Chains A and B, each alone.
Chain A
Amino acid sequence: DAGVTQSPTHLIKTRGQQVTLRCSPKSGHDTVSWYQQALGQGPQFIFQYYEEEERQRGNFPDRFSGHQFPNYSSELNVNALLLGDSALYLCASSLQDPRGEQYFGPGTRLTVT
């Protein structure tokens, strides 16, 4: 089992551009959550997808959007990039059960210049 995989590993973008990050969940998991982790901080919840719909959302602007595909994989899109969007973006997969654990991927390091 490959666990949670994310691509790309690193990414450099220019302010104002758009970016798409990808996540494949752990086999058997149907729920994908996305987090943003700034340097030295804990991960901040962006949103969660289940059954191809956004189920929960954190305090992030509409520039952050996502999608979940029928195979449960997911994408995170960020439009009109700002310097402050530079961070590690983590994807976590789980079953639709708040009592269960989330499995995190290694993350995508996004740098906005």
Chain B
Amino acid sequence: DAKTTQPNSMESNEEEPVHLPCNHSTISGTDYIHWYRQLPSQGPEYVIHGLTSNVNNRMASLAIAEDRKSSTLILHRATLRDAAVYYCILRDVSYQKVTFGTGTKLQVIP
């Protein structure tokens, strides 16, 4: 499986933008980039996904590097409710298997 690398933890002030990086240098052409987050005592929650182009939805934006070897999840205005572990995941279009790494624990400071 292609793997992802994320920082173990990050901090952000409330109401400020947050950029969560993810490296995936061994990504293949058929891998989609997915982001999930897991709030304390809950199951993971889908955030966003993309293939090549940048993507926006109501929760966040996903910026994908031109060579696709890295991506950045952008939370435009962090709130205390955004404090969670964020996982960057690669999903091969041929398979349903999803491999989670250890993720980035985001702390939001009021």
Contact = CB atoms under 8 A, between A and B. Distances in A.
Contacts of B102: 41-42
Interface string B42-56: 111110010100000
Most buried by B among A94, A102, A105, A106: A102
Interface centre among A44, A58, A94, A104 (most CB of B within 10 A): A104
The DSSP consensus for interface residues of chain B is loop
B44 A90 contact: yes
A56 B92 CA distance: 12
A-B pairs, top 6 by smallest CB distance, nearest first, are A104-B43, A42-B100, A101-B46, A56-B97, A43-B100, A104-B44
A41 B46 CA distance: 18
Contact of B103 (A31, A42, A48, A98): A42
A98 B94 contact: yes
Tier of interface size on chain A: 20 to 34
A43 B99 CA distance: 8
A66 interface: no
Interface string A71-106: 000000000000000000010101010110111111
A106 B42 contact: yes
Contacts of A99: 32, 49, 51, 91, 93
Nearest to A91: B43
Nearest to B97: A56
21 contacts: A4-B43, A35-B100, A42-B101, A42-B102, A43-B44, A43-B100, A45-B97, A45-B98, A45-B100, A50-B96, A90-B43, A92-B44, A94-B96, A98-B96, A99-B49, A99-B91, A101-B34, A101-B46, A102-B46, A104-B44, A104-B45
